[in-house]
Chain A
Amino acid sequence: MQLKNKIRAALNEKKILLMTHLVLGYPSLSVNREVIRQMVENGVDIIEMQIPFSEPIADGPMILKANQDSIAGGITVKECLEFAAEITAAYDIPFLFMTYYNIIYKYGEEAFFKKAVEIGIQGFIVPDLPPEEGESFHRLAAKYGIAPILIFAPTSTDDRMKEVTASAKGFIYCVARRGVTGKKTEFTEDFDSYMARCRKATDLPLAVGFGISGKEDVDYLVGKADIAVIGTRTIQLVDAEGAAAVGPFVAGLR
């Protein structure tokens, strides 16, 4: 089933879905493995696995450090792909790759899509690849049936949102605010009117990420968004309390 339809089906039973994020190799693949188990067993609906890149310009200090520590620890793209294959075989929820374009470009764009299909990855989030630079990427995404998840930002005009959604599949990732990952988002009326604009611009489900850190945030998003994205918060949690803290945290979000 296509990613969008899976999301729609799940939304028949839950008022909002949860998507979580982790950086592969940080602090280690074995910790990643345990974190994913905790996430899935406690009801996470979609997981984005970030393949580290040395220059992650859209990420804030926490995820930046996770990328760099993972690379310093010797992680390779090949290991990330092998790990992803193991994980997708073990769990029945959709998994996405998040990475920067150079990782895909350097691997070979078509080879990377082929590999992702073989592994069973459902979509890609590539924050430094705007649709106008992704001609071949989007052609390959269509060919291999992988959803290119594109991004709306509060700075996006209505026209821009329409342009973006024309190339998007699966869902739209709505960045909750300006800035990078990891800082608290204050939800205000501006945010509500932004979400209304997003809803109007696309028929795809809407995910909201950046600064979503607890149940209060998730509750606020019910009825406004379809998917709440938890990124930096779980990385902090694993750093501070270990992988075992992730399950109870996730279970308490919804």
Chain B
Amino acid sequence: MTDKKGYYGQWGGAFIPEVLHETFVQLNAAYNDARADSAFWKEYIALMGSYSCRPTPLTHVENLSRHFNGAQIFVKREDLNHTGAHKANNVMGQGLLVRRMGKKRVIAETGAGQHGVATATMAARFGFECTIYMGEEDVMRQRPNVFWMEKLGATVVPVTSGARTLKDAMNEAFRDWVTSMDDTHYVIGTVCGPHPFPEMVAWFQSIIGSEARKQITEVFGKLPSRVYACVGGGSNAMGVFQGFLDDPDVELIGVEAGGKGLETGRHATRLTGDDASAGVAQGYKTMFLQDDDGQMRDTHSVAAGLDYIGVSPILTDLWEKGRVRFATATDDEVMNALDLTMKKEGIIPALESAHAFVQAYKEAGELTPDDAIIINMSGRGDKDIFTIAHAFGDPSWKEFIREKGAEYAAEK
């Protein structure tokens, strides 16, 4: 799908400081070698099978299918990966590559903390040193993930510049890398950033789509009519979509974070609506949420993992070519979909993943029981109990926290 040097249509590229040129030459070579070596992919599949519950199941959610009285709804269970999200696919793949390159240290940016936890897990498993950059704002919002990263042996560096969120953590990771590139690999968490990251991360995530395609064919006898995935940077969406890109009858739908609503300006919606424009930042060209001068704007979503200014150049190209349709889900719609999914199926999607459920629920009734749709459940919500309990405003949870707080305060 690449025309030249990591471009997808007019999007992508590698806008990197000169000091990293040689690092990228080496990374591209290592990646191309690995890609050409079938033993590498076999090793990857075996590792994901023994360490991370792959293949993940495709669950037919019959109660919800009946509830909407339309398509048969299937859920691809990326939540059942080790560390609870599709992020594991990418980090374990990059871990194998780092070992191949002979580097000893990994760094990563993280927003919600999922990618940070996954990277820290990978680093522990492979014996790498690990530093995670995380916006100060996110460190406070996602304390449990910080706890796990530290327990897994990683150093978590709170980033105090800019908006103190994901994009700032990414900038800070680059600043580390321009100093430490000789022994350090930067494990970018999504299908964004300079080439080869979008293509490489999409490759590792393609395991989702190839499994899903096989599974739906086995259990349903034909391909799905539609496939839904939430889109922050876009890695889980790229992962599942790649299983169906060459099937023109399978409609692919990316769901962005509508936050408080498009009209409020408090959202992270790049490809739905008209708020984003073409730009170059963080090493690549895509549609960014920016002002007329090219300064990046603050974004908002209840789901920290979708709260980002840019989007994968590969998805932007697929959007421009009309292959992927985009929609948005607001924070309120997300909470309702999450509630319904838990009550009807006993499944707890992450807030990020719940965006995909929102759009699937809006459309399921348009189809018939002869049609199948797949929702990619990128991660599980139960480990984000602090965030989700807060988003629900749950009174008994708040009481529990107050009591715990009092207990800890008394220890001082």
Contacts and interface: CB of A to CB of B under 8 A. Distances in A.
Nearest to A52: B295
Contacts of B15: 101, 128-130, 133
Interface stretch (B19-27, B71-79, B206-214): B19-27
A107 interface: yes
Interface stretch (B82-90, B172-180, B247-255, B342-350): B172-180
Interface in A122-158: 127-130, 132-133, 150-157
Nearest to B296: A54
A53 B22 contact: no
A100 B279 CA distance: 11
Nearest to A64: B161
B17 interface: yes
Contact of A151 (B17, B22, B181): B17
Nearest to B294: A106
Contacts of B283: 57, 128
Contacts of A151: 17-19
Nearest to A151: B18
A180 B179 contact: yes
Interface string A52-71: 11111110110011001001
Contact of B178 (A53, A58, A103, A130): A58
B13 interface: yes
B167 A179 contact: no
B45 interface: no
Given A68-B161, A103-B293, A133 B17 contact: no
A102 interface: yes
Contacts of B19: 151, 153-155, 175, 178-179
A34 B99 CA distance: 53
Given A61-B161, A128-B280, A128-B283, A55 B21 contact: no
Chief secondary structure at chain B's binding surface: mixed
A156 B293 contact: no
A105 interface: yes
Nearest to A103: B294
* Contact size range, A: 35 or more
Interface in B5-33: 5, 13-23
Contacts of A60: 175
Contacts of B294: 53, 77, 102-103, 105-107
A150 B293 contact: no
- Give the most central of A57, A76, A175: most B CB within 10 Å: A57
A130 B16 contact: yes
B23 A68 contact: no
Contacts of B341: none
Contacts of A7: none
Nearest to A210: B19
Given A57-B17, A64-B161, A101-B15, A157 B22 contact: yes
A160 interface: yes
B201 interface: no
- Best-surrounded residue of B18, B19, B181, B295 (most CB of chain A within 10 A): B18
B18 A153 contact: yes
A156 B171 contact: no
B178 A179 contact: yes
Interface string B294-328: 11100000000000000000000000000000000
Nearest to A134: B15
B287 interface: no
Nearest to A127: B17
A77 B293 contact: yes
A106 B293 contact: yes
Nearest to A175: B19
Contact of A128 (B5, B16, B278, B290): B16
Contacts of A116: none
A164 interface: yes
B280 A102 contact: yes
Contacts of A58: 17, 178
A151 B16 CA distance: 12
B193 to A, nearest CB: 11
Contacts of A127: 17-18
Contacts of B181: 155, 178
A156 B296 contact: no
Nearest to B18: A151
Nearest to A180: B175
A164 B18 CA distance: 9
Nearest to B293: A77
Contacts of B161: 61, 64-65, 68
B14 A57 contact: no
A199 to B, nearest CB: 17
Nearest to A154: B19
Contacts of A128: 15-17, 280, 283
Contacts of B281: 55, 100, 102
B16 to A, nearest CB: 6
A107 B178 CA distance: 28
A202 to B, nearest CB: 14
Interface string B166-204: 010001001100111100000000000000000000000
A168 to B, nearest CB: 11
A129 B21 CA distance: 11
10 contacts: A55-B162, A68-B162, A77-B294, A105-B279, A130-B15, A151-B18, A178-B179, A178-B181, A179-B19, A179-B179
Given A106-B279, A128-B17, A160-B21, 19 more contacts: A54-B162, A56-B171, A57-B174, A57-B175, A58-B17, A60-B175, A61-B161, A68-B162, A101-B15, A103-B293, A105-B294, A127-B17, A129-B15, A130-B14, A151-B18, A152-B18, A153-B21, A155-B181, A179-B179
